A and B are shown apart, each in its own frame.
Chain A
Amino acid sequence: DTEVTQTPKHLVMGMTNKKSLKCEQHMGHRAMYWYKQKAKKPPELMFVYSYEKLSINESVPSRFSPECPNSSLLNLHLHALQPEDSALYLCASRQDSATSGNTIYFGEGSWLTVV
Chain B
Amino acid sequence: GQSLEQPSEVTAVEGAIVQINCTYQTSGFYGLSWYQQHDGGAPTFLSYNALDGLEETGRFSSFLSRSDSYGYLLLQELQMKDSASYFCAVRDIGTYKYIFGTGTRLKVLA
Contacts and interface: CB of A to CB of B under 8 A. Distances in A.
**Chains A and B belong together in one complex:** yes
* Size bin of chain A's contact surface: 20 to 34
A104 interface: yes
Contacts of A31: 96
A102 B48 contact: yes
Contacts of A103: 33, 45, 48
A31, A41, A88, A106 interface centre (most CB from chain B within 10 Å): A106
Interface of B is mostly: strand
Contacts of B98: 33, 45, 92, 94, 104
Contacts of A105: 45
Interface string B79-110: 00000010101010001111111110100000
B103 A56 contact: no
B8 to A, nearest CB: 9
Interface of A is mostly: strand
B105 to A, nearest CB: 7
B17 interface: no
Contacts of B30: 102
B45 A42 contact: no
A88 B41 CA distance: 9
Contact of B43 (A40, A43, A94): A43
B19 interface: no
Nearest to B90: A102
Contacts of B31: 102
Interface centre among A42, A104, A108 (most CB of B within 10 A): A42
Interface string B2-43: 000000000000000000000000000011010000000111
A50 interface: yes
B87 A42 contact: yes
B33 A106 contact: no
A21 interface: no
A109 interface: yes
Given A103-B45, A105-B45, A106-B43, A40 B105 contact: yes
